[in-house]
Amino acid sequence: MPGKAAPVAEAAPEGETRFAEHAPEGRLTAQRGLYAGPAPIVSKDLYAELEWGSAVRDRDALTVEPSSKVTGNTYFGRFPASYWQRWTTVTSVTVEAVVSGDGLLSVGASDLQGDARVVNAEQVSGAKARKVTMSASLDKFYDGGALWLDLETEGGQTLRVEQVRWTVEAPAVIRPTAVTICTMNRADDCLKNLQALAADVSSLHTLDAIYVADQGTDLVESRDGFEQVAKDLGDKLHYIKQPNLGGAGGFTRGLYEVAGHTATEHANVLFMDDDVLLEPDLVVRMTAFSNRAANPIIVGGQMLNLLHPNQLHVGAEYARLNTLEPGQPVTHSLSTADLLGVDEDTLKPNRQERRLDAGYNGWWSCLIPYEVVKAIGYPMPFFFQWDDAEYSYRAREYGFPTVTLPGAGVWHADFHWKDWDEWHRYFNLRNSIITAALHSPFNLNLLSRVLLAQLVRYLLGMQYGLSATLIKAVEDFLEGPEVLRDGGVAAMKEIRRIRGEYPETKRHKATDVPGIASNDIGIINSAPRPSMQRLVLIKRVIDRVLGRSRFGLGAVPIDEAHWWHIALFDTAVVTDASQEGVRVRTYDKVKMFDLARRGAKVIQRLRKEGAGVQEQYKRAMPELTSRENWKRLYEL
């Protein structure tokens, strides 16, 4: 059977040391100079851009033809000098390259405005696999700016560079690092990332262990390639099968294992999603940054959109806790930005020049030092959604900020291609309210208005299942900490059962909509956003109460499925955000009134009881985030 001979480590006994600090071997590699991505769908221009002439760009080497110039002033080519100056004790960086041929190598630099300058350069002639080193001081980048390597030839010259490394002085000892991959029935995706790590010598050398927390029924170890990758990774791979406790339970397992098997508090755990397209150099960049940080910090990687590989999801983000709004770009942050394009206002290339302070970082790639775990405990047993934000905001209260490191990126499925009206919206809502209770002023009047506004929009949009999801989330918050006792397993089953009672939560093929002939569904477009939304809202509510509508049946594109438009229909066939089907929303006066009553009642309860429940969560947090609680959840 495939995978039968592979090592399977079911939670090794505590006290067995796997992690210890070790002496550095020479200078510390902070990042590598790469000239092509990990997959053909990734543009090489994200790594090095041809300014003129021609060049051959390979993964580890670059050949510049005569009369040509290649710049490393790109997303993956830039060294984030501002971040290194602000957060580490490093004062200079050296770029090293093995060079053959003739040409000019220069180290470029930018400032917070993106204005470029040259800080070092070397002309080579007749080089044959010669090592060239150039240094740059990290002293003029506090508010922003980066460094990069440019390569240029004149007529008759050819220049080849390989083994490009950005190095810094190594610390006295190197922190051990473990990668943790949480997976749930994405066996093929997870296996690809294990293979990517196994094939990348530098990244693999940087890691002391790789944990796979497999919570699915379609197991990674069942795949034909697993046995070979297990051999390639050797004793670094620890494959653990455990109950499905969501992303929180999967990622926390890595923290749990490292804590039980480390001889030092100076260890790192690097979270990584199972379904990302991995740039293995992320491991090198994030661990090096952590190794030279002046104080322990959470180091986050950035997310690029997998369906649009040139797009950066966000430069750095924060959450408006009291209004339950995650994923807010911080001031000056790039957001859904084409990294190969230009800013429409400044006409400058989309580069993140200014240094940004993040509120939190998503766990698609996020490095957490063990010192943080010792100080603040483990993540909340949220199942998933908001576990990453809650942990970063809790860590900040203890003096551990989160830094989102530019150039440390992975590709993850675009968020806006996931429909909001799904069962996981329950966890998003419930956990956001808990996080607000723990880490915000928890203004209950403001929070109640936010939830009531959401409920009204859902009801006008004929999203009755989503309305029920919101009500259930608030009800369960008011149940207090006991709702987290099983890690979310019962809540997941219950919300799926509840949502199953509402037809519009189901997706159908556009040509096979139950009870509606395909040829009868024509697109009815939305009017522009109303200038007087409050008056329009009142009018739509009155029309709904009186059972009045403008359209009997129509199709609505997902980007026009606004409450003010959907409220005009008896039946609206709305495109799913995934673009793989449609949802059928049908006006139901009885459901609308019932959900409105229930929603108003539970939101009123929140206003009255919220402060008391808040105190319950605060009192319970130390126990909920304890090692003992997670040990119980893991059934160890």
C-alpha to C-alpha distance for 332 and 216, rounded to whole angstroms: 40
DSSP letter (8 states) at residue 355: -
3-state class (DSSP) for residue 515 = coil
For the chain, how far is it from start to end, CA to CA, in angstroms? 27
**Catalytic residue annotation:** 388
Q: What is the Cα–Cα distance from 566 to 575, expressed in whole angstroms? A: 12
The token duo for 334 is 């790039």
Residue of 371, 405, 182 whose CA lies nearest to 299? 405
Calpha distance 366→354 (Å, rounded): 21
CA–CA dist 224, 542 (Å, integer): 61
Cα 65 to Cα 617: distance, rounded to the nearest angstrom: 64
Q: Which helix (H) or strand (E) holds 64?
A: strand 61-64
Question: Mind giving me the DSSP string for 140-198?
Answer: S-SSB--EEEEEE--TT--EEEEEEEEEEPPPSSBPPEEEEEEESS-HHHHHHHHHHHH
Number of other residues whose CB lies within 10 A of the CB of residue 549: 14
**CA-to-CA distance for 82 and 144, rounded, in angstroms?**
5
Contact criterion met (CB below 8 Å) for 442 and 322 = yes
H-only helix segments in 380-532: 387-397, 425-439, 444-460, 464-478, 489-499
Percent helix, strand and coil across the chain, each to the nearest 5: 35, 30, 35
Give the Cα separation of 268 and 277 in Å (integer): 22
Question: CB-based contacts of 490: which residues, under 8 Å, 6+ apart?
Answer: none
| Cβ count within 10 A of residue 331 | 10
> Radius of gyration (Cα) for the chain, nearest Å?
27
Residue length of the chain? 636
The side-by-side arrangement of strands in the sheet containing 582-586 is 551-556, 569-575, 582-586
Q: Considering all CA atoms of the chain, what is the largest pairwise distance in Å, rounded to the nearest integer? A: 86
The position carrying tokens 């917070």 is: 112
- For 490, the token pair is 């019962």
Are 315 and 356 in contact by the 8 Å Cβ rule? The answer is yes
Which tokens go with 104? 């000019």
Beta bridge partners of 19: 262
Amino acid, res. 158: T
